[in-house]
Amino acid sequence: MDLGLKDKVVIITGGAKGIGSGISQVFAKEGARLCVNYRRDEQACLAFIRSLETEFGAQVIGVQGDMGFEEEAQRVFDKTIEAFGQVDVLVNNAGYCPTVDITEMDLATWEEVQRSNLTSMFLLSRLMVRHLRARGAGGAIVNIASKAGVSSTTKGRTAYNSSKAGVIGFTKSLARDVTEDGIRVNAVLPGFVRSSRTALRLQEDPHAMDSRLERVPIHRLGEPEELGNMVAMLASEKTVLAVGSVVDMTGGLLL
């Protein structure tokens, strides 16, 4: 299906790894122009970005920055405008997920998780809404939430789970505020998705991963591109009736 995303300008935070890489690939295939933000591992991230250009002929810029800091979020937005003239779609994907028992967690760790996972969405979304209102144009914001935002998960994830529950509330509240401006705001709820972290777990303890996957009705990990397909759909005008939706992409884990 042609989603009508050709030449749309898309910012994808944390867009060079894990779920973000799958989102970037799908938008590249659709012919969108991309700003792929990354935080660390510059050489690997830039190599991924170059692969989007080579494989899909995509127009892509890569911009390093921690989206939990106002000046760095502003720089990513400014670099995108400088390169492409506008922004049509924002995908808030960047996040941080440490495992720390609450008795051992210091305040700095708690605040870093909230800043990385939730404050970053506020900062980028505020820039996006200001930009679209100034243009008098509609657009789309898609937030990456988590199964952890609606149910318990691995021990030691109180900070992460709290931040992702906040993402769901933020998505619904923002949608209520900006839908009449023609700005569509929705979220995607991943479950167990293939990534470098899950690959390491499979290597270290394949039986433990098998036991986790037994809880998933489809009995396998999700693929980053499968999440990307849904994000692209929500970013397109094909799903104009989706307003403040949180789409379950857990493979049935929440049933």
Q: Which backbone phi and psi does 41 adopt, to 5 degrees? A: 55, 55
- Say what the pLDDT of residue 253 is: 87
pLDDT at 44 over 80: yes
255 lies in a domain? no
2 lies in a domain? no
193 lies in a domain? yes
Number of domain units in the chain: 1
111 lies in a domain? yes
DSSP assignment, residue 222?
B
Cα–Cα distance list, 149 to 65, 103, 136 (Å): 25, 21, 33
Which residues have a Cβ under 8 Å from the Cβ of 96 and sit 6 or more positions away? 112, 113, 116, 117, 160
- Say what the pLDDT of residue 3 is: 95
Angle between helices 158-178 and 120-135 (to 10 degrees): 10
In the chain, what percentage of residues exceed pLDDT 90?
A: 77
For residue 154, give the CATH number of its domain. Answer: 3.40.50.720
- Say what the pLDDT of residue 155 is: 87
pLDDT bracket for residue 218 (50, 70, 90): confident
pLDDT bracket for residue 196 (50, 70, 90): low
120 lies in a domain? yes
From the list 118, 100, 116, 93, the residue with the least C-alpha distance to 190 is 93
101 lies in a domain? yes
pLDDT at 25 over 70: yes
Which residues have a Cβ under 8 Å from the Cβ of 149 and sit 6 or more positions away? 161, 164, 165, 166, 167, 168, 189
Mean pLDDT value across residues 30-43: 95
Marked catalytic residue, from 27, 84, 160, 192: 160
Its domain, for residue 219, covers 9-247
- Say what the pLDDT of residue 39 is: 93
Mean pLDDT value across residues 4-22: 96
Q: What is the pLDDT of residues 116-170, one digit of tens each?
A: 999 999 999 999 999 999 999 999 999 999 988 888 777 888 999 999 999 999 9
- Say what the pLDDT of residue 169 is: 97
4 lies in a domain? no
253 lies in a domain? no
Q: 160 an active-site residue?
A: yes
pLDDT at 204 over 90: no
Burial class, 133, CB count within 10 angstroms (exposed 0-12 / middle 13-18 / buried 19+): middle
